């Protein structure tokens, strides 16, 4: 082994270690693929690199990142740069072959499909045998290289959990040395390191999802709300963006649990969670969450106070139409209303919570909105002979005044109070 070959081997080993370390430090898929593309481009001496994912449901190869020298039409993080898989028959054969022993046209090392090389002139050393044998295999790759002014590329399949996930693509400009067989072998190793990094980010995303998700309803949980609300208030203080919070208390859950069982109560929570999610979808970027027990909330950043109140009104209406429970008490607080300075997440939460308490005490069929005057919506409250019943509020809500019932019959009292 000559000094030059040993030096090249040591450099490549160092590059693999550095890429693995960089991938281990990433927290999200977008970071991971960017690090993979840049790392592979530098390690292979390329001028351009990309990482793409195969979207099976669409039958397309979607580019996640373009690194290095880009041409017109190539964005670093494309919104939707994708190509039909049938334009790349070699990918189709590879994808269909996963899970079975590789065919003669697909070399593999330890079950990892090997990379191959294409050039703007046609077949090259390191090209897959199937690609070299059939011009159709090379046609689109070659056309892409010529159209973008690149001289050669090496393509390495990325395999995740035993399934084809996508590809790592590295190219050199026209006139640069053409990739060889050793480059293709090295790209195969880099693709395996990339797959490990992507798998790690998927695990982190799953842990993050579990940490910020309510397991029963699938909505965000209190931890997620606290984090998002802190960020939202900071944005409001910096730019004046409207931040609104809708706090809801599901009425009648205890009665359902006591009479029909907790399984039915859980079903009520799930149903209302779905209603909250559907209503929240009308407000761009809204976060629908279950705070715990029978308490839920909707957090928005950007929509006007009136838009949020409109959605909260629809939420109350839909909740009242559920076959279980007794509707929902809804309180709204928005920096778009005259509620004074909101300099902390706690203040906005307290205002929304207090509005929700008032809605519950008044048995309001509509949301109560902090900072907006007016009468509570009329609802009939029951009274028994000789004793007034306290509405289902918290914090010692004052009982409603009215006439006692006659002869044991329940009579109505219209409740109204200035907010």
Residues near 397 by beta carbon (within 8 Å), at least 6 away in sequence: 357, 360, 361, 390, 391
For residues 124 and 152, is the Cβ–Cβ distance under 8 A?
Answer: yes
Query: Which tens digit of pLDDT belongs to each residue from 257-300?
Result: 889 999 998 899 989 989 999 899 899 889 999 998 999 999 99
For residues 41 and 172, is the Cβ–Cβ distance under 8 A?
Answer: no
Query: Which tens digit of pLDDT belongs to each residue from 123-132?
Result: 554 444 444 3
Separation between Cα atoms, residue 40 and residue 72, nearest integer Å: 22
For residues 201 and 28, is the Cβ–Cβ distance under 8 A?
Answer: yes
Residues near 395 by beta carbon (within 8 Å), at least 6 away in sequence: 357
For residues 39 and 208, is the Cβ–Cβ distance under 8 A?
Answer: no
pLDDT band for position 96 (cuts 50, 70, 90)? low
H helix or E strand, kind and range, residue 112: strand 112-113
Give the per-residue pLDDT at 240.
92
pLDDT band for position 384 (cuts 50, 70, 90)? very low
Looking at per-residue confidence, does 152 or 101 come out higher? 152
Section 387-402 average pLDDT = 34
Section 63-89 average pLDDT = 88
Q: Look up residue 86 and give its DSSP letter.
A: G
Q: Domains of the chain, with CATH numbers?
A: 3-211 (3.30.450.40), 222-388 (3.30.70.270)
Give the per-residue pLDDT at 408.
34
Give the per-residue pLDDT at 64.
95
Section 220-240 average pLDDT = 92
Query: Which tens digit of pLDDT belongs to each residue from 233-245?
Result: 999 999 999 999 9
Mean pLDDT, the chain, rounded, equals 79
pLDDT band for position 188 (cuts 50, 70, 90)? very high
Give the per-residue pLDDT at 97.
52
Looking at per-residue confidence, does 85 or 236 come out higher? 236
Percent of the chain past pLDDT 90, that is, above it, reads 46
Is the entire prediction scored with pTM above 0.75?
A: no
Looking at per-residue confidence, does 89 or 147 come out higher? 147
User: 316: closest CA among 276, 366, 266?
Assistant: 366
Give the per-residue pLDDT at 370.
92
Section 18-36 average pLDDT = 92
Exposure on the CB side of residue 252, measured as CA atoms within 13 A:
17
pLDDT band for position 94 (cuts 50, 70, 90)? low
Q: Look up residue 89 and give its DSSP letter.
A: H
Q: Which residues of 313-335 are buried (b: 16+ CB within 10 A; e: fewer)?
A: bebbebbeebebbbbbbbbbbbb
Burial of 38 (0-12, 13-18, 19+ CB in 10 A): middle
């Amino acid at each position: 082994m000559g000094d030059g070959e040993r030096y090249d081997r040591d450099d490549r080993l160092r590059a693999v270690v550095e890429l693995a370390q960089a991938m281990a430090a990433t927290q999200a898929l977008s970071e991971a693929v960017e690090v993979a593309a840049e790392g592979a481009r530098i390690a292979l001496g390329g001028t351009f690199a990309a990482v793409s994912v195969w979207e099976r449901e669409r039958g397309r190869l979607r580019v996640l990142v373009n690194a290095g020298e880009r041409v017109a039409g190539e964005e670093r993080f494309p919104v939707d740069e994708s190509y039909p898989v049938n334009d790349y028959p070699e990918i189709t054969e590879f994808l269909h072959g996963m899970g079975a022993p590789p065919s003669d046209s697909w070399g593999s090392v330890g079950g990892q499909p090997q990379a191959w090389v294409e050039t703007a002139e046609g077949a090259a050393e390191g090209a897959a045998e199937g690609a070299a044998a059939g011009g159709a295999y090379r046609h689109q790759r070659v056309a892409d290289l010529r159209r973008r002014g690149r001289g050669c590329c090496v393509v390495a399949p990325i395999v995740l959990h035993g399934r084809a996930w996508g590809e790592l693509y590295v190219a050199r400009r026209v006139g640069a040395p053409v990739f060889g067989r050793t480059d293709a072998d090295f790209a195969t190793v880099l693709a395996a390191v990339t797959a490990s990094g992507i798998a790690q980010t998927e695990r982190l995303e799953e842990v993050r999802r579990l940490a910020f998700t309510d397991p029963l309803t699938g909505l965000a949980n209190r931890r997620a709300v606290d984090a998002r609300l802190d960020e939202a208030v900071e944005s409001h203080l910096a730019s004046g963006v409207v931040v609104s919070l809708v706090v809801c208390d599901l009425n009648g859950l205890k009665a359902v649990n006591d009479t029909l069982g907790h399984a039915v109560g859980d079903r009520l929570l799930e149903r209302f969670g779905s209603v909250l999610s559907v209503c929240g979808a009308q407000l761009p970027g809204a976060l629908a969450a279950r705070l715990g027990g029978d308490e839920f909330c909707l957090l928005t950043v950007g929509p006007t106070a009136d838009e949020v109140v409109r959605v909260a009104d629809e939420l109350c209406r839909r909740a009242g139409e559920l076959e279980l429970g007794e509707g929902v008490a809804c309180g709204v607080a928005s920096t778009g209303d005259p509620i004074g300075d909101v300099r902390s997440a706690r203040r906005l939460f307290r205002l929304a919570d207090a509005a929700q308490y008032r809605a519950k005490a008044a048995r309001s069929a509509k949301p109560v909105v902090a900072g907006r005057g007016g009468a509570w919506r009329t609802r009939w409250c029951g009274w028994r002979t000789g004793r007034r019943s306290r509405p289902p509020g918290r914090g010692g809500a004052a009982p409603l005044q009215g006439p006692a019932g006659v002869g044991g019959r329940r009579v109505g009292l219209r409740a109204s109070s200035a907010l």
